[in-house]
Amino acid sequence: MKVVKLLLATNNAKKVEEIRKLLPSGFELLTLKDVGFSDEIPETTNTIVGNSRQKARFVYDKTGINCLSDDSGLEIIALNGRPGVDSAHYAGLPPDNSKNIDRVLLEMNDISDRTARFVTIMTLILNGNEYQFEGEIYGAITVNLFGSNGFGYDPIFIPEGHAKTFAEMEAVDKNQISHRAKALQKLKEFFSDMS
């Protein structure tokens, strides 16, 4: 496979780190910093699919470089899918992970159905054409925080079939099963089908 050069349309350093580990060879990944891009990227739609597309399109239109965005979130069944598209700023602005987690745990107090899923929609803009790849993983919300690896809601999410939260797992283990890993697997298949 020829090397694929992609600009990652995200300012989230943790996402960049995970994506880098998941796409190690065959892809040359550029960050916004690498290309001197510092505009604020809009996220103003009310869906994860819409925001993913909006971010990739905005960066592509400004740079002309093939790019990849990641919009993701935590959807809790008993909370009708919240925090969902509001995951990054569930407790208000500026975004604060620890306050977001506190809000989720408070809202989940006394709720016995702890089922949730992480979902990510990645949008690839390649030569102006748009493609989306989805990844999801089901699991359960804990009653307390466990672990300090990862980011976001990782300390309160135990993936189905496992006994540890994402934040208690090593990156290499989260990266085998995560929503992000699944979406990127589809992206890799997309490129290998093309070659």
Q: Which is nearer to ligand IMP, 6 or 174 (CB)?
A: 174
Number of Cβ within 10 Å of residue 67's Cβ equals 28
> Which one of 23-31, 70-78, 107-115, 187-195 is the stretch in contact with ligand IMP (CB under 6 A)?
70-78
Contacts of 176 (CB under 8 A, 6+ apart): none
- CA gap 73, 4 in Å, rounded: 27
Reduced to 3 states (helix: H, G, I; strand: E, B; else coil), residue 89 is helix
131, 138, 146, 151: which one binds ligand IMP (CB under 6 A) = 151
Q: Does 71 participate in catalysis according to the annotation?
A: yes
Number of Cβ within 10 Å of residue 27's Cβ equals 19
Contact criterion met (CB below 8 Å) for 155 and 136: no
> Which one of 22-30, 33-41, 68-76, 127-135 is the stretch in contact with ligand IMP (CB under 6 A)?
68-76
Binding mask 26-55 for ligand IMP (x = CB under 6 A): -----------------x------------
Binding mask 87-116 for ligand IMP (x = CB under 6 A): xx----------------------------
